[in-house]
């Protein structure tokens, strides 16, 4: 079997988890990460390119004769990395710039949902402050204001009253506090209900849906405090029945993909709609045009099919030829963060206990913000540092295993949520 040279773009826990899974493929040859982290350097070769350095990456791929590139983070996708690779006849996994618009323009995605009758919160898109202000005046509170462009998860504001809404609109539209990403805002109805993450692999023609998962976005227990990149995930979800998943598949997943196709923006790669299970049925909060982080760390523990086969099928349009299987297990990931995250935090803290914690076969530790210092000490290098993942026959078992492993790891000011999975148990 010919081995493939693979490049994974990105540096988070998600990219480590994807690399960990791809490495298990008998067809996986040399594995590169750009730029990667300490964890990825133990399973592959880190190359020092920024994820958005499209030109540098193309030159590298040509020079090293990389067979397949996986474009994982949102920003290179928004910059059109897939289109640029395709122009050069290079094989790449991910959506084109137009298809990824589902994520990088919330204005686009909301208008798309409205046009095709997809279930989502009522909304308006405004670039004009006066119009935005008058929309807010005529609607009830709380009201949700979202920066349209990519905002590192910091561009959504739930405003409890008019004063807050006015201040938020003024900051985004007049003071340009989000730069161009805030040239437009989406103002929408406040929804309630449990939030879930759905993911689907697609080659643009067929698709294969993942089990449902749940992230924990807020820094504090009981979902208090500011939003983060995600503090922990569980899958599958005891609160989502097969019947509900079927409904979501029909009304949300299949229709989104077929309507994107109809509109000439065929989506290929991974699509990740974030949903809210409202009293009036599941509604789309947003689309992401890529794998979630830390959902992926949990998903890779459950995926039973060769990931490289899936990636190749998505690129080649042959996804109908393979069956994707998921282990009949539960899995979870607990994120270990630097104290102070998502606000300011220190880096460079020595991490200890990883080897001890990963002794059990059900435990895998994925690196995010880590690096080696000049003395080969493993140190912290970001807000989210590690993701401790575990599998089990039940979610309860997986969580117990993961928290047991977490106890063995330490670094100064390490912080994690102790209530991951609690809501769905």
Residues forming the site for ligand ADP (CB under 6 A) = 121, 144, 146, 153, 155-156, 158, 188-191, 195, 217, 274, 285-286
Cis peptide preceding 22, ω within 30 of 0 = no
Closest CB 195 distance from ligand ADP, rounded Å:
6
Closest CB 421 distance from Mg ion, rounded Å:
19
Asked whether 372 and 354 are in contact (CB, 8 A), the reply is no
- For 121, 258, 290, 363, the CA distances from 73, given in Å and listed in that order, are 26, 24, 7, 25
Neighbours of 117 (CB within 10 A): 10
Size of the residue set binding Mg ion (CB under 5 A): 1
| Residue 39 or 155 having the CB closest to ligand ADP | 155
Closest CB 228 distance from ligand ADP, rounded Å:
10
Closest listed residue to residue 315, CA positions, set 199, 198, 204: 204
Is residue 2 packed enough to be buried (19+ CB in 10 Å), middle (13-18) or exposed (0-12)? Answer: exposed
> Taking the mean position of all CA atoms in its chain, how far away is CA 351?
25
| Closest-approach residue to ligand ADP (CB) | 286
Closest CB 42 distance from ligand ADP, rounded Å:
30
Which of Mg ion, ligand ADP, none has residue 195 at its interface (CB below 5 to 8 Å by kind)?
ligand ADP
| Residue 14 or 91 having the CB closest to Mg ion | 14
Neighbours of 170 (CB within 10 A): 14
Give me the 271-300 binding string for Mg ion, x by CB under 5 A, dash otherwise.
Answer: ---x--------------------------
Residues 237-276 that bind Mg ion (CB under 5 A): 274
Q: Which two tokens stand for residue 155?
A: 């561009």
Closest CB 260 distance from Mg ion, rounded Å:
19
| Residue 229 or 382 having the CB closest to ligand ADP | 229
Neighbours of 286 (CB within 10 A): 18
Question: Residue 227, interface with Mg ion (CB under 5 A)?
Answer: no
| Residue 144 or 253 having the CB closest to ligand ADP | 144
Closest CB 299 distance from Mg ion, rounded Å:
16
Which of Mg ion, ligand ADP, none has residue 284 at its interface (CB below 5 to 8 Å by kind)?
none
| Residue 19 or 273 having the CB closest to ligand ADP | 273
| Closest-approach residue to Mg ion (CB) | 274
Distance (Å, whole) CA 300 – CA 17: 6
| Residue 85 or 178 having the CB closest to ligand ADP | 178
Q: Is residue 255 helix, strand or coil?
A: helix
Closest listed residue to residue 288, CA positions, set 48, 90, 75, 79: 75
Which of Mg ion, ligand ADP, none has residue 322 at its interface (CB below 5 to 8 Å by kind)?
none
- For 62, 290, 399, the CA distances from 268, given in Å and listed in that order, are 23, 10, 33
Q: Which two tokens stand for residue 307?
A: 């990931």
Question: What residues line the site for Mg ion (CB under 5 A)?
Answer: 274
């Amino acid at each position: 079997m010919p081995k493939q040279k693979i490049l994974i773009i990105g540096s988070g826990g998600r990219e480590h988890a994807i690399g960990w899974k791809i490495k298990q493929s008998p067809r996986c040859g040399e594995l590169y990460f750009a730029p990667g982290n300490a964890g990825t350097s133990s399973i592959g070769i880190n190359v020092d390119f920024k994820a958005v350095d499209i030109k540098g990456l193309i030159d590298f791929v040509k020079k090293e004769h990389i067979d397949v590139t996986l474009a994982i983070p949102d920003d290179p996708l928004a910059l059109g990395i897939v289109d640029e690779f395709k122009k050069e006849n290079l094989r790449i996994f991910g959506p084109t710039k137009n298809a990824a618009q589902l994520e990088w323009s919330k204005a686009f995605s909301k208008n798309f949902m409205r046009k095709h009758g997809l279930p989502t919160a009522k909304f308006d898109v405004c670039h004009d402050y006066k119009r935005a202000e008058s929309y807010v005046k005529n609607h009830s509170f709380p009201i949700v204001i979202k920066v349209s462009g990519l905002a590192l998860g910091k561009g959504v504001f739930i405003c409890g009253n008019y004063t807050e809404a006015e201040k938020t609109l003024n900051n985004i539209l007049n003071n340009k506090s989000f730069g161009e990403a805030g040239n437009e805002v989406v103002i929408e109805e406040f929804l309630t209900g449990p939030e879930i993450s759905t993911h689907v692999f697609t080659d643009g023609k067929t698709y294969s849906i993942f089990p449902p998962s749940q992230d924990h976005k807020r820094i504090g227990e009981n979902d208090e405090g500011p939003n983060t990149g995600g503090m922990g995930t569980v899958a599958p979800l005891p609160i989502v029945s097969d019947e509900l998943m079927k409904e979501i598949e029909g009304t949300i997943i299949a229709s989104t993909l077929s309507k994107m196709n109809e509109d000439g923006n065929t989506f290929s790669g991974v699509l990740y709609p974030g949903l809210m299970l409202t009293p009036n049925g599941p509604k789309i909060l947003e689309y992401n045009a890529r794998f979630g982080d830390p959902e992926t760390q949990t998903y890779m523990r459950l995926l039973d099919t060769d990931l490289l086969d899936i990636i190749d099928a998505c690129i080649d349009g042959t996804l109908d030829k393979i069956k994707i299987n998921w282990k009949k297990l539960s899995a979870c990931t607990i994120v270990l963060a630097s104290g102070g995250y998502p606000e300011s935090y220190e880096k460079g803290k020595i991490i200890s206990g990883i080897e001890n914690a990963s002794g059990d076969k059900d435990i895998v530790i994925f690196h995010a913000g880590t690096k080696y210092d000049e003395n080969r000490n493993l140190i912290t290098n970001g807000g989210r540092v590690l993701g401790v993942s575990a599998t089990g026959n039940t979610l309860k078992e997986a969580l117990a295993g993961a928290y047991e492993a977490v106890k063995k790891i330490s670094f100064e000011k390490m912080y994690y949520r102790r209530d991951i999975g609690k809501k769905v148990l």
